[in-house]
Amino acid sequence: MIIMAQSNEDPFIGKKATPFCLPNAEETIICLNSFLGRWVVLYFYPRDNTPGCTIEAMQFNAALEKFADLGAQVIGVSADSPQSHQKFAE
């Protein structure tokens, strides 16, 4: 199940994100501007391997095909290290 927040619930929904570059789980630097011209679902979570964040990530993972069918790339961001992200992904 995908729950989309209404734009009047959160003033950041639908707004352009500030450009940034961060390492992914494989320590490859990913820059947001490399997705220009494409739809991106950008979600932020506080920490890898916590119960709430795990549920959130699993819900996005389960919906990846639906997002791909819409031409959207899903990107999750937290302040944890690439090594932590790799363990979280496993």
Question: Catalytic amino acids?
Answer: 53
How buried is residue 85: exposed, middle or buried, by Cβ count under 10 Å (0-12/13-18/19+)?
A: buried
Phi and psi dihedrals of 13, rounded to 5? -65, 130
Structure token pair of residue 12: 């950041």
Structure token pair of residue 42: 């950008």
